[in-house]
A and B are shown apart, each in its own frame.
Chain A
């Protein structure tokens, strides 16, 4: 499905160094977290605050476009028809979902019928 749900202007969150390949680093991270969740959480908060401060120090705001595609063809079609500017960062929701095994290949429920008689 192509749906531009929103363009988020996330002040204070810098996505540039987040690794979206969750099968890799994040799995290891979760295991560490299970061992000592409090330490892990406080480190996360510290790190977030630091990044937030750095971000607030700059006046730049980047625009992020999060789109969920139902297949690769949809993505190609979307990119062909919608010009992304340099300041836009595309976050591919379909790829993200696949990486965390959400099985995005088919919808989980049937939409109700249109109301036309």
Chain B
């Protein structure tokens, strides 16, 4: 089994607590498994694009049981962006949403708010399940962080130098299954795009209706693809 970089190992062992962005995808799952194995106290966060989706909840509760963790659900910064930009909103909603003056938030803002709400004023290292082999952009990103650590932004990337098979092997050895998202999309659900929405509509029609509750004109995203298809 692939080992984590010794520098990362040493730094992780020094931490009293860390946070983890938990998307439900294989890489963040591998990070959670690593943290559990190293007996490091961590707070996993899931950032939802649309609240209360059944298939997302199913994934999260499954991993909560398997890993004996409590995953904190927070709104995704992109959810605020969608609402601020009035994406997929009918005109009657626009005035109301504009009147809310929703702020532009980052992951760090949201995590910080949550931690402070628990009465804890510390700032912890954040564990991120990004890998250099995922894409050229990621490779470029890690060129400057060759040990998978960024002390300035306080981020640690334990699987930065792993490839896909290393991650899958770890999960297999620890008996941790991939979520149902992989059966449908071959990756974790993480966007409000037609690429995912066809699958949501087909496999989780009730969740699709829930997305429509929040984004009434979401059908247009599917319509966009259908219209484009006519020409090619």
Contact status A1-B227, CB under 8 Å:
yes
Cβ 8 A contact of A7, one of B94, B185, B195, B196: B94
Interface size class of B (residues with CB under 8 A): 20 to 34
Contact status B227-A115, CB under 8 Å:
no
Query: Which of A3, A65, A84 has most B Cβ within 10 Å?
Result: A3
In the bound complex, residues from chain A placing their C-beta under 8 Å from that of B223 are 1-2
CA distance A114 to B191 in the complex (A): 12
- Interface pick from A19-27, A31-39, A94-102, A105-113: A105-113
**Does residue A6 face the partner (Cβ distance < 8 Å to B)?**
yes
Interface size class of A (residues with CB under 8 A): 20 to 34
Contact status B92-A7, CB under 8 Å:
no
**Does residue A44 face the partner (Cβ distance < 8 Å to B)?**
no
**Does residue B91 face the partner (Cβ distance < 8 Å to A)?**
yes
A2-19 interface bits toward B, Cβ cutoff 8 Å, 1 = contact, 0 = none: 111111010000000000
Interface majority SS on A: helix, strand, loop or mixed?
Answer: loop
CA distance A56 to B95 in the complex (A): 19
Contact status B85-A6, CB under 8 Å:
yes
A3-B220, A4-B217, A7-B86 in contact; A111/B94 too (CB < 8 A)? Answer: no
CA distance A68 to B228 in the complex (A): 14
Within 8 A of A (CB), among B90-107: 90-92, 94-95, 98
Contact status B195-A112, CB under 8 Å:
yes
Top 9 A-B pairs ranked by shortest CB distance? A7-B94, A115-B185, A114-B198, A110-B232, A116-B199, A111-B228, A115-B195, A106-B231, A114-B195
Q: Which B positions have Cβ atoms within 8 angstroms of A?
A: 85-92, 94-95, 98, 183-187, 194-199, 202, 217, 220, 223-225, 227-229, 231-232
